[in-house]
Amino acid sequence: MKHEINRRQFAAGAAALGLSPWLGGCGKVPDVVKIGVAQPLSGPLAALGQDLLNGVRLAVAELAKTGYSVDGKRVSFEVIAQDDRADAAGGRAAAQQLLDSGVSAVIGHLNSGVSLETAPMYAAKNVPQLIISTNPKITQLGLSTTFRIVANDALQARAIGAFAAAQLDAKAYAVADDGTPYGKGLAEGAAAELKKANKNIALHQSFDDKTVAFKELAAKLKEAQVGVFVCMLNDFQALALLQELQAIGHTRITLLGGDLVKTADMAKGMDMIDQIYATSPVLDVAEFTTGRQFLEKYIAAYQKPPAYGGHYTYDAMYVISEAIRKANSAEPAAITKALHSINGYAPVTGTMTWDEAGEQRYGAVGVYELRKGSWELRMRSDRW
């Protein structure tokens, strides 16, 4: 006589042995699928992290309202949010809590240093990680579970250098960074592009990310008659430098920076020098055809406009939901496999699809000019 194994006993036994709880589910999608979100929800970057979390929650609310289903079965999503505190230790703790809670996928992290620490943790459990972090080293780890939802720093560095060389011609250029891996990487990549274009780099210098004493730097820029300053410094540092340049009368200069200067505060420097530009792999939501619709829904839900890239995490959640349908499973490894072959519908940005390394195939970098107190798109490309 054959004995039927009690499903509860099997599940309990599997748990005792440390086996995946998905073994007892035969690949079927549960009623509730857990999605992890790990972002900085406290500290200086809290507004950005909350925006990224808001994007996911908005998508989940819409999926619930429209009646998301898999193979005819109604399925809902539960968002489990963790504060990674924008540091490695906080990121590891947040990742472990998400993994312990049984999430099927994770949307996080913002900071590249945090993603570098957590990516191996997610990979060990086959949990797909969709990141807005931009450091190329993350995908170079060779982990199949890592998927970047924007362009990386390599493309942004090429954009900075190419734009500076072709659009901002000057007799002398200067490059400076804040000493962080992010700032130094962009600065070195941009400098390489300028050298390829045979541009004269009169100065290339690193500082730390807290320096605001730039009297000596300003004097060097004036002495070398630098006309284009490639600035991988924070916005408050850039403004401190502009004040020094204004004080010594060297104002016929153009500043070109990265994400760190693409802020509202930089409007304070508009009248100090000729022009201010910034680049970013996170394109403004208003640039997309359906961006206005997203803005209206976002503001209605949160009573404020997006602070950063909520439209990207909103899209990422939709693509995850499509991957679950494609896999007919909420098992993490099955979702990972589906993401590698998907050309996912992204309501705002259009589509998300990845190459073998997990890089976004159509990630683009935009160049913005600060005019009349706001950033206006000058050009964007995915082929800098």
Task: Summarize pLDDT for 89-126 with one digit per residue, the tens.
Answer: 999 999 999 999 999 999 999 999 999 999 999 999 99
Task: Summarize pLDDT for 29-73 with one digit per residue, the tens.
Answer: 999 999 999 999 999 889 999 999 999 999 999 999 999 999 999
- The predicted model scores a pTM of 0.87
Do the domains at 27-151+286-353 and 154-280+366-381 have one common CATH topology? yes
* Residue ranges per structural domain of the chain: 27-151+286-353, 154-280+366-381
Confidence of residue 3 (pLDDT cuts 50, 70, 90): very low
Confidence of residue 340 (pLDDT cuts 50, 70, 90): very high
Mean pLDDT calculated for residue range 197-214: 97
Q: What was the pLDDT predicted at 27?
A: 54
Q: CATH number for the 154-280+366-381 domain, one of 3.30.70.1450, 3.40.50.720, 3.40.50.2300, 3.40.50.300? A: 3.40.50.2300
Task: Summarize pLDDT for 354-370 with one digit per residue, the tens.
Answer: 999 999 999 999 999 99
Average pLDDT, the chain: 93
Confidence of residue 19 (pLDDT cuts 50, 70, 90): very low
Reduce the secondary structure of the chain to three states and give it as a string: CCCCCCHHHHHHHHHHCCCCHHHHHCCCCCCEEEEEEEECCCCCCHHHHHHHHHHHHHHHHHHHHHCCEECCEECEEEEEEEECCCCHHHHHHHHHHHHHCCCCEEECCCCHHHHHHHHHHHHHCCCCEEECCCCCCCHHHCCCCEEECCCCHHHHHHHHHHHHHHHCCCCCEEEEECCCHHHHHHHHHHHHHHHHCCCCEEEEEECCCCCCCCHHHHHHHHHCCCCEEEEECCHHHHHHHHHHHHHCCCCCCEEEECHHHCCHHHHHHCCCCCEEEEEECCCCHHHCCCHHHHHHHHHHHHCCCCCCCHHHHHHHHHHHHHHHHHHCCCCHHHHHHHHHHCCEEECCCEEECECCCCCECCCCEEEEEEECCEEEEEEEECCC
Judged against a pLDDT cut of 90, whether residue 290 lies above it is answered with: yes
Judged against a pLDDT cut of 60, whether residue 200 lies above it is answered with: yes
Judged against a pLDDT cut of 70, whether residue 250 lies above it is answered with: yes
Judged against a pLDDT cut of 50, whether residue 260 lies above it is answered with: yes
Judged against a pLDDT cut of 50, whether residue 24 lies above it is answered with: no
Q: What was the pLDDT predicted at 242?
A: 98
Q: CATH number for the 27-151+286-353 domain, one of 1.10.357.10, 3.40.640.10, 3.40.50.2300, 1.10.340.30? A: 3.40.50.2300
